Amino acid sequence: MLFPLADYWWFYVAFTAFILVLLAVDLGVFNRKAHVVSIREAAKFSVLWISLAMVFNGLLYYYALNTFSQDARLLAMPGFDPAAAAWRVALEFLAGYVVEYTLSVDNMFVFVVIFSYFSVPSQYQHRVLFYGILGALIFRAIFIALGSVLLSYHWVIVVFGILLIYTGIKMLSHDAGQMEPDKNPLVRLTRRLMPVSDHYDGKHFFSKIAGRWHATPLFLALMAIEMSDIVFAIDSVPAIFALTREPLIVFTSNVFAILGLRSLYFVLAGAVAKFTLLRYGLAGVLMFIGLKMIWLNQAWGGHFPIGWSLAIIGTLVGGSIVASLVVEQRKGRVDAD
């Protein structure tokens, strides 16, 4: 392991503190007042989050290069090349970020259904997603910690590989529009534990009615989104572990991708229905990564080339997006005729 926890615990602490500061600024400065997030505003923040991730990746590369060049433990390893190792770290971060970010697009369909089902006012959707992101960060940290331990066993790698292939096959016939948010386990648990109001109370998740606290529909929407992210993490975290075995890279790439999820939603919410073929590309990504875990890594001496992985993932996702737009354009022409 290039970044053992015993030596880099401070990195996790500093990174987490940095992310908390960013979230505090986001909520306390840019989104202090509830408002409808425009596509233009969301696009600016999407560019900002992506730029931050790329800057971090560049800094991580130079930090790794400098650290590896002075690490006696690593230099003592036969054939170890600090420059090559640092470059691999940067590519693995990029691959993990791309996989997490692109798989997040599938979650956009789920968010659209949840907000529509609970009739969440547009000006409060950002608030729900913000707190949903906080929960997602906590769950991801737990899943990554568990994954770093469990994936040290080969049979667990095989099980997760099979799970990813199965999920990819299932996604081919998946339709987010058929989901029923009110049957979500966390939503049902909330209804069982406390009364639920039929009406919204502004931006509040809870309201006091006749001296008793009630959950508002806004809180139910939050619970539905939290549950969808838990399910999503079961696929996405093993997928990134298939690209890199470094928990530090998995954690940081996951966090940056999740941070951009809210802005991505507001950019794509109106156009998400046009990506009709995207799920085939995402299904292909999951099946490829599952195959990588089960066979390809072993076939290539323990690690399938990360550059090839990036190219395959980019081709699958990019190809499905282009194909979706072409199909939509042709449908538009047919309807016009």
Give pLDDT tens digits for 12-32: 999 999 988 888 887 666 666
Name 218's Cβ contacts closer than 8 Å, sequence gap at least 6. Answer: 118, 120, 124, 127, 128, 200, 201, 203, 204, 205
Do the beta carbons of residue 196 and residue 190 sit within 8 Å? yes
Mean pLDDT, residues 287-313 = 83
Largest CA distance in the chain: 72
Single-letter amino acid code for the residue at 142: I
Q: Per the domain annotation, does 334 fall within a domain?
A: no
Mean pLDDT of the chain: 84
Q: How confident is the model at residue 337 (pLDDT cuts 50, 70, 90)?
A: low
Residue 175 lies in a domain: yes
| Residue at 155 is within a domain | yes
For tokens 């909520």, the residue is 27
Write the single-letter amino acid at 189: L
Q: Find out whether 164 and 293 touch, Cβ atoms under 8 Å.
A: yes
Percent of the chain with pLDDT over 90: 20
Q: Is residue 323 part of a domain?
A: no
Strand-pairing partners, residue 204, are 201
> Into how many domains does the chain fold?
1
By C-alpha distance, which of 94, 64, 70, 91 is closest to 1? 64
| Domain annotation covers residue 209 | yes
Within-domain flag for 313: no
Q: What is the model's pLDDT at position 272?
A: 65
Q: What tens digit of pLDDT does each residue of 257-286 get? A: 888 887 888 877 666 667 778 788 888 888
Collapse the DSSP code of 212 into the 3-class scheme (helix H, G, I; strand E, B; otherwise coil) and give the result.
strand
Structural domain for 166, as ranges? 5-271
Residues 6+ apart with CB under 8 A from 256: 49, 52, 53, 56, 97
* Phi/psi at 201 (5° precision): -125, 70
Asked if the structure places residue 311 within a domain, the reply is no
Cα separation, 181 vs 22, in Å, equals: 30
The pLDDT tens digits for 41-98 are: 888 888 999 999 999 999 999 999 999 999 888 888 888 899 999 999 999 999 999 8
Q: What is the pTM of this model?
A: 0.81
Which residues, at least 6 apart from 165, have a Cβ–Cβ distance to it below 8 Å? 286, 287, 290, 291, 294
The residue whose two tokens read 């996989």 is 99
Residue 166 burial (CB < 10 Å; 0-12/13-18/19+)?
A: middle
Q: Per residue in 183-195, pLDDT tens?
A: 778 888 888 888 8
Residue 164: partners with Cβ closer than 8 Å, 6 or more residues away: 235, 238, 239, 242, 286, 287, 289, 290, 293
Cα–Cα distance measured from residue 197 to residue 57, given in angstroms and rounded to the nearest whole number: 45
**Domain-located, residue 337:** no
pLDDT for residue 55: 96
Pairing of strands 212-215, 206-209: antiparallel
